[in-house]
Amino acid sequence: MTDAIIVEHLHKTFKTKVKGGGFAASVRSLFNPEYKTTRAVDNISFRIPRGQLVGFIGPNGAGKSTTIKMLTGILYPDQHANLTVSVLGMTPWIERKKLAYRIGTVFGQRSQLWMHLPPQDSFDLFAAIYSIPEDTYRKRLKHLVETFEIQDLLTTPVRKLSLGQRMRCELVAALLHDPEVLYLDEPSIGLDILAKKALRDHIKRINAQGVTVLLTSHDLDDIEEVCDRVIIINSGHIVHDSSFDELRKSYLQKKLITVHKRKQAKRLELQGVHIAHDDKDVTKLVVDTKVTDIHTVLSAVAAHYAIDDIEIADPPIEEVIEEIYRRSA
Amino acid sequence: MTFAAYRGLFKTVVKEDMLNFFGDSMPSAVVTLVHCLVTVSIYAAVQKTLFYGIFSWGMMVWYLIFAQVILSAGKGIIKEINADIQTGAVATAMSKPYSYPLSLYATFLGSIPMELFGTLLIVIPFGIFMGGAMLQAHAILFGVLLVFFAVTINFLISLCIGMIAFWTEDADPYMWLYSKLMFLVGGMFFPLDVFPATIGVIVKALPPAFIIYYPAKLLVKFSWSEFLYVAGMQLLYIALLSSIAYLMFKRATKKVMVNGG
């Protein structure tokens, strides 16, 4: 299988002006500005074969978005002797416009749709931008509209759509020109549980059609549901790169269960289960799945509490990274 | 990258402006009318005879109206570039297979038709009422070409100033300076003939004169020789400023720093 993305020795530093608070600091900064250098991406290397769905995760400020923006050609990396970056055989920042025809992007925090116009108008514009022949465009749009179930949204101004509805339209916009690589930068940010679930299903469907997907998120659940492989980045470094199963076996032996109760109950006593919080309405349990498997715990929880609602989650990404560092130390 | 992309952007902006015609274009037209009203009233009350020998009163009224109309065209472009850079929206624009500066030009041109339509709708009756219906068809016909070149020069200067934000993250102070320069040496409130001969020669050779003074003057007082001179100079400035904008953008792309993720 050939590689869609090759990254070797990628670096990016940003220089930002720093200034203390107050008027005197402002005056000092005027005549003697001070700068802080931030290593947003610090010597990372990885390869992504064609058709793979890779989760690129890390906490805020880890360097995920900066990496994606260098892979689209928007940002120039720092020049480095051994630097090699190739996306579909092209160097992104040199062949940015040529590459743009073959990649799709969705930035969760920045819409590419025109807010006051209905999505149909944005789609027509993208067809013109990507020089899609009229006939191909009509067929492809029809297919995408059916796949993403946005028939009823086509004529509603984007600003009136919910976040989940808008995200489905963003995906359609990113896929109109049939890209071979799709970058999804925090697409699930701000979505509710149902919208997240629908989005994950759509991402899986896109990948099943052979599109290489690089998905950034700081939500491990996003990655667990859809990705073949997970790359964890922190402070500009890759700290882990494996399949999700391996990550789970190595680092995700804990599950967090939140039980919303209808009535007060005695403390649940079970091996491998630690009660992190308990009041009359909510109990939070931390389960060590090495000691007791999750099915046993859930059965015990169901029998023990009068459940109103229940949530199961992985530990936050920060805890996983902490654990990775702890073990490597 | 094809022309269709830029035509598509132009059409999309026009569509959006049509939707917002009464909420956006018309209020902006009213502001232009107020500016016209203020300047024309000042001349009517104080200096009605100042430009006699150059312009008649009717010509003066229409000159001031055209000056305001030209200047109001697509005035939001610097704000847009500033906002694009500060919010990181530049990343969305630059991930598309087109030239970012040309996409801004298409957006800029697209923002003109509805705004111009709204403005003309209310300033023409005002002009006829104050100055009389004294415009000539051929002056309008060829003057429109000069106005097109004029707004293009204005766009290119604004683009260069806006791109300063790639280095400083805020180009507003520079834009403020530029707007004051237009006020003083562009001919916004008075024809540049008011300057003494030596200064007048310099002022009339600077780009602001080719954005406001000459196009507005030729729209009301057309002459072939001056038309050819102005069109030639405008094309020269367009070529010069396009080259500067191109070089700036080439350097600016290496400076892109996307804020906020």
Whole-angstrom distance, CA of residue B93 vs CA of residue B75: 20
Q: What is the pLDDT of residues A274-304, one digit of tens each?
A: 998 988 889 999 998 888 988 999 999 998 9
Residue extents of the structural domains in chain B: 3-255
The predicted pLDDT at position B261 comes to 47
- Average pLDDT of chain B is 87
**CB-based contact, B168 to chain A, within 8 Å:** no
Q: Residue B98 and residue A96: Cβ atoms within 8 Å? A: no
Chain A residues touching B20 at Cβ < 8 A: 116
* Interchain contact B88–A (C-beta under 8 A): yes
User: What tokens does A297 get?
Assistant: 């715990």
Q: B254 and A131: CB-CB below 8 Å?
A: no
CA of B90: which chain A residue's CA is closest? A74
* Closest chain A residue by Cα to residue B99: A97
What CATH number should be reported for the domain whose range is A253-313? 3.30.70
pLDDT of residue B253: 82
Percent of chain A clearing pLDDT 70 (strictly above): 99
Token pair belonging to A66: 């900066």
Q: Sort out which chain B residues have CB atoms less than 8 A from A110's CB and list them.
A: 87-89, 91-92
CA angle A20, A66, A163 (to 5 degrees): 95
Alpha helices by DSSP H, chain B: 3-19, 26-45, 57-72, 77-87, 90-94, 100-110, 112-131, 137-163, 165-168, 172-185, 197-203, 207-208, 214-220, 224-252
CATH of domain A3-7+46-250: 3.40.50.300
pLDDT value of position A196: 84
pLDDT band per the 50, 70, 90 thresholds, residue A329? low
Report the pLDDT averaged over residues B229-252: 95
Q: Which SS3 state, helix, strand or coil, does residue A217 take?
A: strand
Please say if the pLDDT value at position B48 is more than 80. no
> How far off is chain B from A138, nearest CA to CA, in Å?
16
Give the Cα separation of B18 and B13 in Å (integer): 9
Give ipTM to 2 decimals.
0.83
Residue A188, chain B, CB below 8 Å: the answer is no
* A positions 113-142 inside 8 Å of B (CB): 114, 116-117, 121-122, 124-125, 127-131
Helix (H, G, I), strand (E, B) or coil at A231: strand
**Nearest chain B residue (CA) to A103:** B95
Residue A153 has a pLDDT of: 94
Task: Tell me the shortest Cα–Cα distance from B3 to chain A, in angstroms.
Answer: 9
- Confidence label for B170 from pLDDT (cuts 50, 70 and 90): confident
Parse chain A into domains and list their residue ranges: 3-7+46-250, 253-313
CB contact (8 A) between residue B8 and residue A105: no
Q: In this complex, is the C-beta atom of A312 within 8 Å of any C-beta atom belonging to chain B?
A: no
Mean pLDDT, rounded, for A144-157: 92
Position A125 scores a pLDDT of 95
Of B20, B97, B254, which is closest to A129 when you measure between CB atoms? B97
Query: Which pLDDT score is estimated for B47?
Result: 66
Closest-CA distance, B22 to chain A, in angstroms, reads: 14
Looking at residue A252, its pLDDT comes to 77
Asked if the model's pLDDT at residue A183 lies above 90, the reply is yes
CA of B14 vs chain A CAs: smallest distance (Å): 11
pLDDT at B28: 86
Give yes or no for residue B78 having a pLDDT over 70: no
Q: Does B7 touch chain A (CB under 8 A)?
A: yes
